[in-house]
Structure 1
Amino acid sequence: MTNHEPQLSVLLVDDEIEACRNLKSILLEFVDPDIKILGVAHNTAEAEKQLNIHNPDAVFLDIEMPNENAFQFLERVAPINFEVVFVTAYDEYAVRAFKLNAVDYILKPISITELANAVTKLKERIKYKSLLNTNTNDFTNVSKQITHKSKLNRITLKGNNNNVELVAFTDILYVEACGKYSKVFFLRHDVLAEILTSYAISDYEELLPSALFYRIHKSFLINCNLIKQIHKDDTTSIVMHHSVTIPVSRRRFSSLLEFLQTKPVYND
């Protein structure tokens, strides 16, 4: 740990004893040996007691647990003065998790890279929270830093074949509805890639930043920063980065133009 990095204090919460052991082992052996693990809880009642005793910086939290799930638990112990990283076998709760401003959402089996990324983001949030508390004369500047550093700027995409991609919002070209599923098209080292996910396009419309993405058609949600041209002939279409052409719904064309003229600047 460097002198400039905060030491993390964390609580691990999972009803499976082996899952907690595995998470603790990966954190200490492969991610950061200086992480201070204050306690381990195997149900939410035990977790609440540990929170009151230890006051951790963050909680690594499973979702599906006996008697009470993670969301019910967080609602019950609110206001929350700790950061949350969800670690779960279920991908269907991601949208709800990020609405709670979770630092990250990690799917089991745990990827060391994903866990390391989550810890890095945790340290950033805690560092700037500390600055806010100790530099009250520079409150405005530090608040801007906190907002910039701590906001979510990428998404974990899990395909139906269990392939997982960690993608920056700015690298997502568009999302296409495929029945109950969605295809997400994104840039991987400037090469166009795609992944079929189990989320509906409406989930992505809610999760992705509204300053960057716009629903131009019932089947398409696009990254407006990657628009190259707009064609309006008999049918209206948009040419995106990589020469991808996407149709625009007639009834959404005017609102799209208005959005492009007035949309706020998105800074990742």
Structure 2
Amino acid sequence: MLRAFLIDDETDSIEVMISLLTSYFRDEVTVVGTATSAQEAFETVPQIKPDVIFLDIQMPGENGFAFLKKMTVIDFEVIFVTSHDEFALKAIKFSALDYLLKPVIINDLKQAIDKAKRVVDQKVFRHSQVLNLIANIESNEDSQKIAVHYGDEVRFLKLIDIIYFEAHGRYTTIYPISGEKYIVANHLKMLEETLEELALFVRVNKSCLVNIEYITAYSKKEPYYLRLNNGKEFDISRRKRQEVMDKLKERKI
């Protein structure tokens, strides 16, 4: 039985979540406490020691991230609950953490609870991933990292050290400068949308997203292609050519 703690500045939202958990997951989750502010949660959580926290991001004053930043030990699973906050969702995805969008859908809640149960059963809490999330929110593009699963580990790759992403169906392979390869269960389109605000990567065709900093040459006429510093060449689709050229100009390349 998961012991859950709910943090949300809106009491109505807390009541809705309690109703969902008791109606659909009575045998799997029990609510052991609630808080309506980051400070209240900070004072209460260490005493209650829940297994999982449903954490609202948008709260007046100190937000959900401020609560996590205050905690010296994160020995619980975190499920973020938020309205559509594009910046926050991108940061959460980068750190391979879980989230629910309001209004919460039962199937999404079930998946989140199932993941939380696995984490709690394995006693592998995501302190390092939460720290990476906070760092990404507060940092510039040179220090932002993406979390990837590698065997029994979670590794953090600096975005500036990734040469390119390549799609393989519903999976994507990450190629960093280290020469290793990492496969993630994310569509390339999702990664492209997550990275678009950084202006560091550009989609050159339907299967490849490249780091502009590693482009060493590109053709001025057909057939359009570009070359990376590791010698790898990619065709630039006709549809993407202008976007690639614009990005190169923005980065003064």
TM-score (norm: length of structure 1): 0.53
Query: Size of the alignment, in residue pairs?
Result: 175
SS in 2 for 1:12: strand
Alignment correspondent of 1:96: 91
Deviations 1:217-261 (A, max 9, x none): 54557379xxxxxxxxx526xxxxxxxxxxxx413385546xxxx
Alignment correspondent of 2:227: 251
User: Given the superposition, is the C-alpha separation of residues 82 and 219 from structure 1 closer, same or farther in structure 2, using an over 3 Å criterion?
Assistant: same
In 2, the alpha carbon distance for the partners of 1:171 and 1:35 equals: 32
Q: Return the offset for 1:73.
A: 1.6
Is 1:28 aligned to 2:22, yes or no? yes
Q: Return the offset for 1:121.
A: 0.4
Work out whether residues 95 and 203 of structure 1, in 8 Å CA contact, stay in contact via their aligned partners in 2.
no
Partner amino acid, structure 1, of 2:170? D
Alignment correspondent of 1:125: 119
User: Given the superposition, is the C-alpha separation of residues 200 and 122 from structure 1 closer, same or farther in structure 2, using an over 3 Å criterion?
Assistant: closer
User: Given the superposition, is the C-alpha separation of residues 129 and 73 from structure 1 closer, same or farther in structure 2, using an over 3 Å criterion?
Assistant: same
Alignment correspondent of 2:102: 108
Alignment correspondent of 1:156: none
Alignment correspondent of 1:39: 33
Partner amino acid, structure 2, of 1:96? A
Q: Return the offset for 1:94.
A: 1.2
Partner amino acid, structure 2, of 1:97? I
Q: Return the offset for 1:55.
A: 0.7
User: Given the superposition, is the C-alpha separation of residues 186 and 199 from structure 1 closer, same or farther in structure 2, using an over 3 Å criterion?
Assistant: closer
Q: Return the offset for 1:38.
A: 0.9
Q: Return the offset for 1:201.
A: 4.0
In 1, the alpha carbon distance for the partners of 2:154 and 2:192 equals: 24
Is 1:75 aligned to 2:63, yes or no? no
User: Given the superposition, is the C-alpha separation of residues 147 and 9 from structure 1 closer, same or farther in structure 2, using an over 3 Å criterion?
Assistant: farther
Relative to structure 2, which stretch is displaced further, 78-87 or 119-128? 78-87
Gaps of 5+ in 2: 125-148, 156-167, 174-185, 210-221, 234-253
Deviations 1:125-173 (A, max 9, x none): 111128xxxxxxxxxxxxxxx9757969xxxxxxxxxxxxxxxx96157
In 1, the alpha carbon distance for the partners of 2:112 and 2:123 equals: 17
Q: Return the offset for 1:40.
A: 0.9
TM-score (norm: length of structure 2): 0.56
Q: Return the offset for 1:90.
A: 2.5
Deviations 1:170-218 (A, max 9, x none): 61579xxxxxxxxxx969xxxxxx89x9945436999xxxxxxxx6x54
In 2, the alpha carbon distance for the partners of 1:151 and 1:115 equals: 24
Relative to structure 2, which stretch is displaced further, 31-40 or 109-118? 31-40
Aligned alpha-carbon RMSD (Å): 4.1
Alignment correspondent of 2:55: 61
Gaps of 5+ in 1: 1-6, 131-145, 153-168, 175-184, 188-193, 207-214, 225-233, 237-248, 258-268
Pick from 6, 19, 24 the counterpart of residue 12 of structure 1. Answer: 6
Work out whether residues 31 and 115 of structure 1, in 8 Å CA contact, stay in contact via their aligned partners in 2.
no
SS in 2 for 1:79: coil
Deviations 1:91-128 (A, max 9, x none): 311122244552x1111110100010000001111111
SS in 2 for 1:250: strand
